[in-house]
Amino acid sequence: DGLSGDGARSRAMGAGARQVSGAPAHSDATRTSPSCQLLCNVHQTGQSWHSQPPLEDCMRLNPSFAGIALRSLLAVDLWASKRLGVCAAEGSAWGGARPLMKVVEVSGHGLPWLLGTAYGLCQSDSAATREVLLNLLFALLLDLVLVAVVKGLVKRRRPTHNKMDMFVTISVDKYSFPSGHATRAALVCRFVLHHLVLAVPLRVLVVLWALIVGISRVMLGRHNVTDVLFGLFLGYALYSVVEYCWLSPLSAPALFALWSS
């Protein structure tokens, strides 16, 4: 259905429109929606609905260009995501590649990244390494919180063809917008490219990894294309926030004193 609430609204609109054209359609939607109730009254009394249609009803019956564009984008998104979900099940077109895609999934999961960074932090004996790892940990936690908040607000369901057999999830992970793997991949990619001195082939590999993590989300049927595109954008933008709030022994002396002790 796309973003939650939209489907219900458009169904209510559809039911209302059918009533204006004369077809008796006393569905739950027409009974519960005040605007459809208005249209119902107009139909029953024969009163011209040009008399005084509330602004809200005008807006519902004459969706804006932006509204139509958004609905069309969501329709294309659902269609394309279903077509591209070629590893969504063992029996899918590329079902044989599903185990490999699940390895890619784990490589972008929050748990190995958080545990790995915390472990590196405990093991590091150089102040410079500790500073970078502490900021990476901060970035990963910020990313988890941001994605959880957006998922909780938008409440977009995962595609119907997704098998819910994901490696360790938290409650908001029943929702799909944005893709947490995509935000993390873009964030980590930018972070690593800025803070690690790597040879060009390795830098290319890091970018490829981030893209493959994003693409694998759609191929596994976990996400729609727009979840991943927005996730990549969010992760990319989040890195700028992390740079802006960069934690250093000067800006957060207490935190660094904690780690060095």
Ligand X SMILES: CC(C)=CCC/C(C)=C/CC/C(C)=C/COP(=O)(O)O
Query: Cα 113 to chain center, whole Å?
Result: 19
Near ligand X by CB under 6 A: residue from 146, 214, 217, 224? 217
For residue 170, state whether it binds ligand X (rule: CB under 6 A).
yes
Q: How far apart are CA 196 and CA 193, in angstroms?
A: 6
Q: Does 173 bind ligand X (CB under 6 A)?
A: yes
Choice from 69, 76, 168, 257 touching ligand X (CB under 6 A): 168
User: Which of 137, 222, 242, 256 is in the footprint of ligand X by CB under 6 A?
Assistant: 222
Among 180, 214, 221, 235, binds ligand X (CB under 6 A): 180
Of the ranges 33-41, 120-128, 175-183, 251-259, which one interacts with ligand X (CB under 6 A)? 175-183
Tell whether residue 156 is a contact of ligand X (CB under 6 A): no
Under rule CB under 6 A, residue 114 binds ligand X:
yes
By C-alpha distance, which of 19, 55, 59 is closest to 39? 19
Q: How far is the CB of 214 from ligand X (least distance, A)?
A: 9
Number of neighbouring beta carbons within 10 Å of residue 7: 12
Interface positions with ligand X (CB under 6 A): 109-111, 114, 166, 168-170, 173, 179-181, 217, 222
Q: Which of the residues are catalytic?
A: 181, 223
